[in-house]
Amino acid sequence: MEIESVRVQLIDRRDMALGRQAEGMTHHKSLPVLSVVQALEGSYDISLDGGAPRFTGPGGVFIAPRDKMQRIVHHVDPRTGAMRAQWAFVDILVNGRYHLEDVCAPPLLLPGDRWEEVGGILSALSPANSFCRRQALLFQLADVLLAVSTPRDPPDAFAAAMRGYIEEHAAQRVTAAQLAARFRLSLPTLYRRFQAHFGMSPANYLNAVRLRNAALLLERTDLRIAEVAAAVGFADEFYFSRLFHRRYLVSPAAYRKKTGSPS
């Protein structure tokens, strides 16, 4: 697909410094944004959607696409007993319609000859720089990610439209009947096409989107758990907490405690 336009938005940018207690610390997460994470001291084991883990090595960078379930294991530098990292959460929209991950497959591990370049971009993405400077850096980052990724066909138009609609309205009440009416489908056809494209029912997909949005809020904000639940579309805090624990293997409060600093 020919790229005619790219929009890049920085969602979050942080640094982390941990001591020996970080060794073996494991996080499970799935976010609605793309993550670019560099181990400055120490290293990571990273796997996506239950795949084989890959080792970043010191200075290595991993790229985690949006919506993928990440399993991240932290390793301290054995010489210093410390771990330091930096990362950015970004949203890259191609041709005004597709997320970067829709049109290409980024490598899980960034090639080593790009570590210094991307590390410099991440370091410079700070509030100390002007908005224009940060946007220029984000476009540099997008250019690197597009260059190292493998192109693929954009998603089915129905799947892209349905996903976009649900992501935009996830915090509202969305039912299968409303979706069927919106896209002029019968309920059986809606369920059949949903299963074919997303591998789950509309309700389960909606909850998955809400949980990803909640994970990002838990990392980035100080909202109370009940406020996070309400913000992403769950009326019942306890139902939200139960679903969150089932997906991320920890409670929302424990997730925030573990990830409120780094990835």
- What is the sign, positive or negative, of the torsion defined by CA atoms of 213, 256, 67, 86? positive
pLDDT of residue 260: 66
Please choose, from the candidates 32, 28, 10, the residue with its C-alpha nearest in 3D space to the C-alpha of residue 206.
32
**Same domain? 27 vs 128:** yes
pLDDT of residue 113: 97
Tell which of 151, 175, 193 closes a domain.
151
Segment 187-227, tens digit of pLDDT: 999 999 999 999 999 999 999 999 999 999 999 999 999 99
pLDDT of residue 123: 95
* Number of neighbours of residue 207 by Cβ within 10 angstroms: 22
**Same domain? 134 vs 183:** no
pLDDT of residue 62: 98
Residue by residue, pLDDT tens for the chain (263 residues) are 788 999 999 999 999 999 999 999 999 999 999 999 999 999 999 999 999 999 999 999 999 999 999 999 999 999 999 999 999 999 999 988 889 999 999 999 999 999 999 999 999 998 778 889 999 999 999 999 999 999 988 778 888 889 999 999 999 999 999 999 999 999 999 999 999 999 999 999 999 999 999 999 999 999 999 999 999 999 999 999 999 999 999 999 999 988 864 43
pLDDT of residue 155: 76
Q: Residue 16 in 3-state DSSP? A: strand
**Same domain? 111 vs 164:** no
pLDDT of residue 263: 39
**Same domain? 126 vs 146:** yes
Residue 1 lies in a domain: no
Tell me how far apart the alpha carbons of residues 243 and 166 are, in angstroms, rounded to a whole number: 18
**Same domain? 112 vs 144:** yes
**Same domain? 67 vs 163:** no
Segment 160-187, tens digit of pLDDT: 889 999 999 999 999 999 999 999 999 9
Helices (H) and strands (E) in the chain, counts: 10, 11
User: Residue 35 is part of which domain span?
Assistant: 6-151
